[in-house]
Amino acid sequence: MDEAAKYKKATYHLWTFTASKMIAMLGSHVLSFGISLYILAMTGSATSFATNMICSILPRALVAPLAGYVADNYSKKRTILLAQAGTILTMAGLLLYTELFGMSVNAIYVTTVFYTLCSAFSGVTFTSAIATLVNPERLQRAMSFNQMSMSVAAVGGPVIGGMMYGFFSMEVFLIVHMIAYAIAFCLEATMNFNLYSTRGDNTKKEKIWKGLVSGFSYIKQHKVIKVVMWLSLWINLFFSAIVVGGTYVIIELLKVEPTHFGFVEAAGALGMLVASIYFATRGEIKVPLRFSKFCLLLLSSSLAFAVIPLVTDFSYSMIVVFYILLYFIFAIFEMGVNMPLGVFMQKLISEEYRGRVFGLMETMAMSMMPIGMLVYGILYDMLPATGILLVTSAIIVVMTLVLLRTAVLREAHPEFYDETTMAERVAN
């Protein structure tokens, strides 16, 4: 295939995978909203709700490295289509069970586990395949479009789900989800996942254990990749302070109504959407690790600003407006950290190891989420929220300065720092 034809196909990929991701994620958010309300209405138990959340996190964290191995050693297209088909069949199974025996919480738990396993394989494989779907010059735009589709789905899913919940049964939610994934399946079946692949056709497949071990060895040999993975782990742990504390501070301590808190959370999704559009329309960040470091320092500072309404005499309306603006800015800085890092990692990691590296990163990140939520849940019950947020902000600043020190940035971007050093010598 000549370059003009490849560029045209890459443009097709850019829009097709954005549409497929948006449709699938929209269906997923609609179903998630409906199931959450259904469990609470059926049981009235927070424990049942939390159990379903564990079923949606733990299996993915455990199986992500295996999904990465499969992505690296088998056809990405086949893996994604099989995972999507598995999702559709899982929902069809729950629909059939409901028709025969009626809906039950245990059936939802089992369905959530299988759905999460399928999502792990499709998600990790899709992430590792982005760099082979589009040309390197449009990699940042592709990842921005990917994030944009998820942001739109995150905003639209609960809205659609809320409108449907009052008028339709749970079976309709399942059918909508199946239709969404069926459309995504048809779109992804037309894509060429080897368009910009650099791997030969005769690449030898590794056995599972050897493949996982070689993935670990590859990470150990690359200092910058190790730094980014540790950074991802600690970020997911310490930013649980705002995931848990945001709701606790705003609703419990400041007594903001849940309806108004919904506007605060929507502002975060809107901020991600705005940042996605920005990255999609601008050129690629030249020194991504330094850019992410700067945004992470701003992000940790915005975490500290969250205490201002706790120590000042703001009116109710000022509190709501303050947190709407803070969550909007918070989301923009978060995208400023994630987007350049994502593009950098796509280009830095060799194609034959991308799946395993991203799979391990996902395992580390997702395993930190429940730990962070548990730790901060206990801390907020024992200590003042003001102190927790300020100390966490300071810890993230120190962690950023240590992990992303100049020596690491110079190793990650030698071409930039060598040019800078030469320019300084000439000036002197």
Please say if the pLDDT value at position 194 is more than 60.
Answer: yes
Q: Residues 53-75: what's their mean pLDDT?
A: 85
Whether residue 203 is contained in a domain is answered as no
- Long-range CB pairs of 105-110 (<8 Å, 24+ gap) are 105/39, 105/42, 105/43, 105/48, 108/35, 108/38, 108/39, 108/52, 109/51, 109/52, 109/55
Is residue 339 predicted with pLDDT exceeding 50? yes
Q: Could you tell me if 30 and 168 lie in one domain?
A: yes
Alpha-carbon torsion, ordered 84, 89, 91, 95, to 10 deg: 160
Query: What average pLDDT is seen over the chain?
Result: 83
C-alpha 390: how far from its chain's center?
25
In a domain, 294, yes or no: yes
**For residues 27, 364, 141 and 397, what is the CA-based torsion angle, rounded to 10 degrees?**
120
Is 410 among the domain residues? yes
Q: What is d(CA 96, CA 345) in angstroms, rounded to the nearest whole number? A: 42
Residues 268 and 355 in one domain: yes
What does the block give as tokens for 379? 């801390």
Task: Give yes or no for a contact between 143 and 9, defined as CB atoms under 8 angstroms apart.
Answer: no
Looking at the structure, do residues 187 and 295 belong to the same domain, yes or no? no
221 and 320 co-located in one domain: yes
What is residue 351's DSSP assignment?
Answer: G
Q: What angle do CA 160, 254, 260 make, to 5 degrees?
A: 20
Which pLDDT band holds residue 425 (cuts at 50, 70, 90)?
very low
The pLDDT of residue 421 is 53
Cα dihedral sign for 234, 236, 240, 241? positive
Confidence of residue 86 (pLDDT cuts 50, 70, 90): very high
Judge if 160 and 302 occupy the same domain: no
What's the rounded Cα separation, in Å, for the pair 185 and 23?
Answer: 10
- Going by the DSSP 8-state scheme, the letter that residue 286 receives in this structure is S
Mean pLDDT lowest for which of 149-158, 226-235, 333-342? 149-158
Range of the domain at 119: 1-192
State the pLDDT at residue 49.
65
Per the structure, the count of domains in the chain is 2
Which SS3 state, helix, strand or coil, does residue 98 take?
Answer: helix
Q: 37 near 208, Cβ under 8 Å? A: no
DSSP 134: S
pLDDT at 428: 43
Average pLDDT over residues 344-355: 86
Q: Are residues 64 and 187 in the same domain?
A: yes
Q: Are residues 24 and 123 in the same domain?
A: yes
78 falls within a domain:
yes
Would you mind telling me the total number of residues written for the chain in this entry?
Answer: 428
pLDDT at position 427 is 47
What does the pLDDT read at residue 419?
A: 58
Q: Are residues 147 and 240 in the same domain?
A: no
pLDDT at residue 118 tops 50: yes
Q: What is the pLDDT of residues 148-179, one digit of tens each?
A: 887 777 777 767 777 777 777 778 888 888 99
Give the integer Cα–Cα distance in Å for 321 and 120.
Answer: 37
pLDDT of residue 127: 86
Tokens of 28: 């997923």
Predicted local distance difference test score (pLDDT) of residue 186 = 93
In order of 158, 166, 208, 317, 349, the CA distances from 263 in angstroms are 12, 21, 46, 12, 39
- CB neighbours of 339 closer than 8 A, spacing ≥ 6? 140, 143, 144, 147, 275, 276, 279, 285
Residues 277 and 336 placed together within one structural domain of the fold: yes
Task: Answer whether residue 50 shows pLDDT above 70.
Answer: no
Between these two residues, 46 and 31, which has the higher pLDDT value?
31
- Same-domain check for residues 260 and 402: yes
Tokens of 320: 């709501």
Alpha-carbon radius of gyration of the chain? 22
CA distance 236 to 249: 19
Q: Is residue 106 within 8 Å of residue 192, measured between CB atoms?
A: no
CATH number at residue 20: 1.20.1250.20
Same domain, 85 and 35: yes
Q: What's the confidence (pLDDT) of residue 161?
A: 75
Distance CA 386, CA 310 (A): 7
Asked, for residue 427, whether it belongs to a domain, the answer is no
How large a percentage of the chain has pLDDT more than 90? Answer: 15
**In this predicted model, what pLDDT tens digit does every residue of 95-105 receive, in sequence order?**
999 888 888 88
Tell me the mean pLDDT in the region 192-219: 79
Instruction: Please provide the DSSP assignment of 154-198 as one string.
Output: HHHHHHHHHHHHTTS-HHHHHHHHHHHHHHHHHHHTT--TTTT--
What was the pLDDT predicted at 422?
47
- The Cα 44–Cα 416 span in angstroms is 57
Task: Give whole-number Cα distances, 172 to 34, 118, 226, 385, in Å.
Answer: 10, 21, 45, 42
Examine residue 23 and state whether it is found in any structural domain, yes or no.
yes
Residue 177, both tokens: 């989800």
One domain for residues 10 and 108: yes
What interhelical angle do 223-238 and 385-403 show, nearest 10?
A: 180
Each residue of 121-135: pLDDT tens digit?
Answer: 998 898 888 888 888
Q: What is the mean pLDDT of residues 196-218?
A: 77
Indicate the range of 108-122, 193-207, 268-282, 305-319 predicted with least confidence: 193-207
Q: For position 203, what pLDDT does the model report?
A: 62
Residue 312 to residue 321: CA distance in whole angstroms = 15
